[in-house]
């Protein structure tokens, strides 16, 4: 007979081992987003003096009105990638933290790190579990988690007071203290377990929690990867256009003024940016659709819509297309009103 048939707990132990490996892999992937990966490489190009050079040129009082639409496009081209980065950071925070942990029912709100601690399962050995409780009541274990003095203790005491001690996991609330033990420290020690979502779960409860945790991580990682790719594409495209605009402005002699053709080319570059950015933001989704059967893809397209990603795409489309329309109209009207020919000079 093999080990699985001898001990009914073995399948659960085997699954927990495999699942923890997969969970570790998922967190390594998420760690790439925390480090910034490609976005950090683009930041020096994005946040150098490029925007200050452009704004200084477009806000010059001598050519303020001819270049007003360019000023607006400059601000939008900086704001949308930063908005995408903001949403990426927001998703990262919500990936690593959760408002609810399985098997924890509370009447108060206490966010926890998504990875809870793992306690020894009582159904593995009740006797061994009692020995673990007794061992953890020793002072060296208590001060391994607690500071001997300072505001950290006040944090535990405040949490115990607000929750009336219910932050402590139920199996640790009534542990009898040893002679000479500090009851307050034992309660703080138990509160630390509750703060991290570390409950005394049976193996079946641990397996159920880990299954749900893998599904949660897969859902959040799906959105994180797409959010990151969209932000990366926006940063790359914005940097390319910004570098081109700066190249046009660096050769302008302030004493001689700016040629009108430079204004028109800059307006054309930003108009191109505004027209193509919504398409670029949508491309990662389209690339995924290309993997599927065309018939199924068209029939079930709504099934794959993520509300958060769809909202971001809608915001980008609305901002870009509205700015494109008014920017082009404004350029034509001002050019005609000021009689700016291709070779005219704006003093």
Helix (H, G, I), strand (E, B) or coil at 201: coil
Query: Contact at 8 Å (CB) between 310 and 282?
Result: no
CB-based contact 31:223 (threshold 8 Å): no
Give dist(CA 339, CA 334) in Å, integer: 8
The structure tokens listed for 63 are: 């050519």
Q: Which two tokens stand for residue 208?
A: 């159920």
Q: Over the stretch 170-210, which tens digit does the pLDDT of each residue have?
A: 999 888 776 666 778 888 889 999 999 999 999 999 999 99
List of E strands, the chain: 97-98, 112-113, 258-259, 345-346
Q: Are 245 and 269 in contact (CB under 8 A)?
A: yes
How many H-runs (helices) and E-runs (strands) does the chain carry?
13, 4
pTM of the model: 0.84
* pLDDT of 345: 57
DSSP string of 115-150?
S---PPPTTT-HHHHHHHHHHHTSHHHHHHHS-SSS
pLDDT value of residue 305:
73
pLDDT of residue 54: 75
Match 């002679």 to its residue by tokens.
179
* Cα 42 from chain centre: 18
Question: Per residue in 320-338, pLDDT tens?
Answer: 999 999 888 888 887 776 6
Give the number of other CB atoms < 10 A from CB of residue 10: 14
In this prediction, residue 211 carries a pLDDT of: 95
pLDDT of residue 255: 60
Please give the helix or strand (H or E) that residue 67 lies within, else none. none
The DSSP output letter for 99 is S
State the CB neighbour count (10 A cutoff) for residue 330.
17
At 69 the pLDDT is 77
The closest alpha carbon to 95, from 221, 196, 192, 244, belongs to: 221
What is d(CA 343, CA 264) in angstroms, rounded to the nearest whole number? Answer: 11
The token pair at 295 is 């018939």
Contacts with 251 (C-beta within 8 Å, 6 or more apart), sequence order: none
Taking only the tens of pLDDT, the chain with its 347 residues reads 444 457 778 899 999 999 999 999 998 888 877 666 556 656 665 556 667 777 777 666 566 667 777 788 888 988 998 899 899 889 989 999 998 888 888 778 888 999 999 999 999 999 999 999 988 888 888 888 887 766 667 788 888 998 998 999 999 988 877 666 677 888 888 999 999 999 999 999 999 999 999 999 999 999 999 998 998 899 889 988 888 888 887 776 666 667 777 788 888 899 999 999 999 999 998 888 888 776 666 555 565 678 889 899 999 999 999 999 988 888 888 777 666 665 565 55
Burial 64-89 (b: 16+ CB within 10 A, else e): eebbbbbbbbbebbbebbebbbebbe
3-state secondary structure of 97: strand
Q: How many other C-beta atoms can be found within 10 angstroms of the C-beta atom of residue 316? A: 22
Cα–Cα distance, 201 to 123 (Å, whole number): 9
Helical axes 10-35 vs 203-250, angle rounded to 10° = 20
DSSP one-letter string for 39-54: HHHHHHHHSSTHHHHH
Q: What's the pLDDT score for residue 1?
A: 41
């Amino acid at each position: 007979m093999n080990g699985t048939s001898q001990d009914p707990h073995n399948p659960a132990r085997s699954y927990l081992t495999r699942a923890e490996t997969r969970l570790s892999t998922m967190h390594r992937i998420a760690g790439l987003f925390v480090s910034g990966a490609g976005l950090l490489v683009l930041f020096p190009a994005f946040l150098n003096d490029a925007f200050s050079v452009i704004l200084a040129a477009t806000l010059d009082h001598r050519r303020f009105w001819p270049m007003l639409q360019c000023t607006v496009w400059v601000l939008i081209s900086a704001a949308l990638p930063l908005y995408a980065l903001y949403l990426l950071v927001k998703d990262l925070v919500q990936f690593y933290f959760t408002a609810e942990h399985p098997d924890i029912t509370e009447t108060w709100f206490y966010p926890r790190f998504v990875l809870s601690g793992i306690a020894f399962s009582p159904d593995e050995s009740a006797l061994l579990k009692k020995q673990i409780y007794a061992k953890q009541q020793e002072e060296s274990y208590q001060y391994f988690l607690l500071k001997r003095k300072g505001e950290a203790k006040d944090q535990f005491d405040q949490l115990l007071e607000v929750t009336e001690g219910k932050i402590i996991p139920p199996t640790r609330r009534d542990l009898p203290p040893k002679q000479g033990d500090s009851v307050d420290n034992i309660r703080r020690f138990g509160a630390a377990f509750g703060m991290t979502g570390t409950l005394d779960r049976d193996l079946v409860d641990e397996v159920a929690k880990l299954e749900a945790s893998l599904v949660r991580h897969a859902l959040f990682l799906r959105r994180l990867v797409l959010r990151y790719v969209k932000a990366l594409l926006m940063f790359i495209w914005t940097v390319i256009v910004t570098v081109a605009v700066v190249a046009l402005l660096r050769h302008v002699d302030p004493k001689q003024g700016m040629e009108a053709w430079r204004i028109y080319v800059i307006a054309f570059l930003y108009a191109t940016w505004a027209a193509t950015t919504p398409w670029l933001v949508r491309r990662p989704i389209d690339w995924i659709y290309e993997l599927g059967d065309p018939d199924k893809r068209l029939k079930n397209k709504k099934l794959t819509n993520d509300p958060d990603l769809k909202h971001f795409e809608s915001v980008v489309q609305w901002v870009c297309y509205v700015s494109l329309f008014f920017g082009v109209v404004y350029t034509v009207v001002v050019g005609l009103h000021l009689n700016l020919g291709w070779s005219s000079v704006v003093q």
